[in-house]
Structure 1
């Protein structure tokens, strides 16, 4: 059995790759670290975006594990252009997983890169793994395993948020939202 904890980053100052955490977000990192201290974490992998790896850095320091950065966990790019109706555009990408806007990536493309990380880790020796990423990519990763997850579930995510995926003999994990 393997436990994969999928973590959405703490409260951030923006969406850019170098956007830092807010003061509240920095406080939340300590709460996240405390939350995981009794979970026997043996591997941590994160989006290279500052808000993601800063979310898990206090835990990594406390348990003496380095955070592995992986570009495949970076946030999904919806479009290279800023659109005032981006939420409507995003919603459509949950209904049409191949829909791709200019300069962006489809839901299927983003989902595939996230799942490739999960599959690599599942084939490794680690048993209790933390993934840190971003809301849209996380919702797509979860959708891969449970097609009932979509736009509405993305909207309900919090910063931070944590899902526990329990993998046993089959490829479909039991998924539980465990952050409150």
Structure 2
């Protein structure tokens, strides 16, 4: 039996510099309800999340709907770009994507963050083989983790992600079979 991982990039949040406690905006809360509607009938076995509030709040309506708890997995937190805030976010993010080993002071390189995400995903695949698992996470760490499986998931892929975004990865043990964007209850856009 295949394992299906539903990566859920968090919905729109109200910006604060406190990464862990940044909440969803009112628009984000409405979109979290749409995530619930997309996944409520998918026979989900587990709901996991980054420790950041915006990720938890994005998958919480689903967890409540299907009677599951949200279990926090620290390593699905967003990649740390830089200590404090970047003067120019666009330039800072382009720099780390252009050089896999580069990191800003106090931040994570793509290599380090990708390995963290890949290790966390491998742990989930081993622990929940044959199950359907939702993982509330973030755009950069999600893309980096997916990029460990297939290099097509790169900076350009990250730039076109929506908030929220639901991506289904189907595995046979640890072998990636398909990647689908879940856009509504019927339609899927296939990447592989």
TM-score normalised over the length of structure 2: 0.88
Uncovered stretches (5+) of structure 2, i.e. residues with no partner: 185-192
- 1:58-103: per-residue Cα shift (whole Å, max 9, x none)? 1111111111101111111111142333322212322321111100
Matched with 1:119 is: 122
Contact 1:53 1:132 in 2 (8 A): yes
Contact 2:125 2:174 in 1 (8 A): no
Matched with 2:81 is: 78
Matched, 1:162 2:169: no
Matched, 1:3 2:11: no
Secondary structure of residue in 1 paired with 2:86: coil
Matched, 1:17 2:20: yes
Alignment of 1:144-159 (within 5 A): 144-159=148-163
Matched with 1:41 is: 44
Secondary structure of residue in 2 paired with 1:77: coil
- The RMSD of aligned alpha carbons is 1.5
Distance 1:68 1:125, change over 3 A: same
Matched with 1:176 is: 180
How many residues are treated as equivalent by the alignment? 180
Distance 1:8 1:125, change over 3 A: closer
Uncovered stretches (5+) of structure 1, i.e. residues with no partner: none
The separation in 1 between residues aligned to 2:152 and 2:103, in whole angstroms, is 21
Matched with 1:29 is: 32
Contact 2:79 2:113 in 1 (8 A): yes
Contact 2:3 2:173 in 1 (8 A): no
Contact 1:145 1:173 in 2 (8 A): no
Bigger CA drift: 8-17 or 164-173?
Answer: 164-173
